[in-house]
Amino acid sequence: DAGVIQSPRHEVTEMGQEVTLRCKPISGHNSLFWYRQTMMRGLELLIYFNNNVPIDDSGMPEDRFSAKMPNASFSTLKIQPSEPRDSAVYFCASSLDWSNYGYTFGSGTRLTVV
């Protein structure tokens, strides 16, 4: 298995632009998580899905952020409009189940909003 695949690896965009981050989880994993990592706040859970259904999006910072999982093999995190404070590394992770199992993380997308 190729692991969790994220794209793009790096994204530089101007403030106000729309940004879409993509994730392909490990086949057979039922849960998918989106995290944001910054020096100030560490690893923050933004949203997670179980069997393609969003379960908890309380970590999504604002309405500018949205996430979808149209099928078991694909998820997107969208920021519209983007702001400089959104600059961070965004990780997608998948797991067999949403509790009691370890996560497999992707390599992340480093987002820079200028």
Partner 1 sequence: GENVEQHPSTLSVQEGDSAVIKCTYSDSASNYFPWYKQELGKGPQLIIDIRSNVGEKKDQRIAVTLNKTAKHFSLHITETQPEDSAVYFCAAPSGGSYIPTFGRGTSLIVHP
User: Taking contact as CB under 8 A, which single stretch among the options 16-24, 62-70, 72-80, 90-98 is the one that binds partner 1?
Assistant: 90-98
Q: Which of 88, 108, 111, 113 binds partner 1 (CB under 8 A)?
A: 108
Neighbours of 16 (CB within 10 A): 10
d(CA 1, CA 69): 20
Cis amide prior to 25 (ω within 30 degrees): no
> Which value, to the nearest 10 degrees, does the dihedral of the CA atoms of residues 85, 74, 6, 114 take?
-30
Between 65 and 103, CB nearer to partner 1:
103
State the number of binding residues for partner 1 (CB under 8 A). 19
User: Taking contact as CB under 8 A, which single stretch among the options 14-22, 68-76, 78-86, 106-114 is the one that binds partner 1?
Assistant: 106-114
Q: Which of 93, 94, 111, 113 binds partner 1 (CB under 8 A)?
A: 93
Instruction: Provide the phi-psi class of 108: left if phi over 0, else alpha when psi is between -120 and 50, else beta.
Output: left
Q: Interface residues with partner 1 (CB under 8 A)?
A: 4, 42-43, 45, 48, 56, 91, 93, 98-108
